[in-house]
Amino acid sequence: MPCRVQISLDLHTIEDALAVAAIAVECGVDWLEAGTGLMVEQGLHVVTALRATYPTHPIVCDFKVCDGAAYFARIAKTAGATHFDVMAAAHDATLRDAGEQARQLGLTAIADTMFCADPVAAAVRAEALGVQMIGWHLGLDHRTEHRQLRAIDGLAEVLTAVNIPVQVVGGLSIEDAISAARMGASSVVIGGPLVPADRGDVLRHNLRAVVAGVRG
**Neighbouring residues of 130: CB distance < 8 A, sequence distance ≥ 6:** 95, 96, 98, 99, 100, 103, 109
Dist CA 116 CA 135 (whole Å): 12
| Tally of CB atoms within 10 A around 204 | 15
Residue 2 is given by DSSP the state P
pLDDT of residue 183: 96
Q: Could you tell me the residue ranges of all domains in the chain?
A: 6-215
CATH number belonging to the domain at 6-215, selected among 3.50.50.60, 3.20.20.70, 3.40.50.2020, 3.90.740.10: 3.20.20.70
Number of helices (H), then strands (E), in the chain: 10, 8
Mean pLDDT along residues 97-126: 97
E strand or H helix that includes residue 104: helix 92-105
The least confident of 23-27, 70-74, 81-85, 139-143 is 139-143
Q: CA of 166: how far to CAs of 63, 68, 109, in Å?
A: 18, 23, 12
